[in-house]
Amino acid sequence: MKLLEKIFSAKNTYIYKDFTILGRRIRCINTKKFKQYFKSIPLMVHAKSRYGKALKVFYTLIATGGGGGFYTASNCDFDSEQFSAEYRKLTAGLDKDSIATVDSAMTIYKAYMDFAKFKNPTIQDWINTGHSLKLPSDTTIKHLCKDFCDRIEKINDNLYRYKDYLLPVNHFESSVFYHRHSIDKLKTLGKIRNKNIIDVGGFVGDSAIIFSKYTDKNVYTFEASPENFELVKKTLELNKTSNVIPVNMALGDKAEDVLYVTGCTSGKTTTAVKYENSETINATTLDSYVQNHNIDVGLIKVDIEGYEQKFLQGAENTIKTQKPALLISIYHSFDDYMHIKPLIESWNLNYTFRIIKPEENPLLETLLVAEVLEK
């Protein structure tokens, strides 16, 4: 038997089969399942040539080293005392599932940063790097495709459906419609019913129509991009949503500020620097908006492509005085991943923290979940 194994062996996965014959490996790709796998990547569901774009996004993530600050591909030292100290701050007080999520993310960031050292990376460099990444299980992909991807319907060029939800563009993300930003995992969910929800990074209004069913008050959805804001209004009209208040402004660290939006679709980023083709937008702070409109806040969700720390600086008073539940995206940069939790912790508000991500995403859509629990 051992002799036969040396001559011939086979490994079967959901996407491909590996045959080893006399020490030579032959990989056979199951094209249908390969496409189905990339179909499960939520950012790609809406895109033309989605599989090529999926690979391109993965390449981009790797090539950028996963983040900024002193954690860059050129000078990050995961064996340094500085990193060890920051890791201890990040994981302090987390449950074991959250710590496991963090450790998995650290492996991915290391792989990204190693890959970024290649001047002219090849496909083989990508494959070698990818071996260290923990990919979603075949079962997870099958369930996601069956319960989510395969249930997205095109009505016409300007109307798409998933279950009872309608969008004017085909951009249904699993983190929003399938996982609902993990809102059902909140331990203080009952408290939110009689309070308002703040949705920062409204995109096309997708999160807003989900959140609208969790409150008897209002959802304030902030979308900085004028182009996306028009889609927000269409989404609210299509779904006949009456308790969502759309606001075409950015939320940052300064009131009455002028910022810029650059990028495209869900990846539009707020910045203080004006680039070519960037959109000029008005900005304020959440503290100022909440005070001016006398809003009682029960939940804040933030996903603004790496501008989260600036937002938090302008939301500090609201968070300190009202202590709402928080769903904050921390995956856009390594700096965010490492420092957003310690920042909120430094305010001494007795928040309990968890770090959660969808099973199908190795790193994308990672959330810092923060709640003040009753003792």
pLDDT digits (tens, 9 = 90+) for 170-223: 999 989 999 999 999 999 999 999 999 999 999 999 999 999 999 999 999 999
Confidence of residue 116 (pLDDT cuts 50, 70, 90): low
Would you call 108 helix, strand, or coil by DSSP?
helix
Beta pairing partners, 196: 297
Model pLDDT, residue 69? 35
Would you call 145 helix, strand, or coil by DSSP?
helix
Q: List, as one string, the DSSP characters of 189-258.
A: HHHHTTSEEEEE--TTTHHHHHHGGG-SS-EEEE---HHHHHHHHHHHHHTT--SEEEE--EE-SSTTEE
Mean pLDDT across the chain: 79
To the nearest 10 degrees (0 to 180), the angle between helices 81-91 and 334-345 is 60
What tokens appear for 375 in the block?
A: 């003792």
CA atoms within 13 A on the CB side of 287: 16
d(CA 347, CA 338): 16
What's the length of the chain? Answer: 375
Look at residues 178, 97, 66 and name the one whose alpha carbon lies nearest to residue 353.
97
What tokens appear for 186 in the block?
A: 């909140």
Q: Which residue has the higher pLDDT, 178 or 14?
A: 178
Are residues 215 and 184 in contact, defined by beta-carbon separation less than 8 angstroms?
no
Q: Residue 269: phi, psi to the nearest 5?
A: -120, 135
Cα 98 to Cα 28, 107, 108, distances in angstroms: 36, 14, 15
Which of 135-140's residues contact partners 24+ apart within 8 Å by CB, and which partners? 135/362, 136/40, 136/359, 136/360, 136/361, 136/362, 137/359, 138/13, 138/14, 140/359, 140/360
Using the predicted structure, report yes or no on whether residue 166 has a pLDDT greater than 70: yes
d(CA 92, CA 341): 10
Mode of pairing for the β-strands spanning 325-329 and 352-356: unpaired
Span 259-300, pLDDT tens digits: 455 544 444 455 554 444 556 677 899 999 999 999 999 999
d(CA 218, CA 193): 10
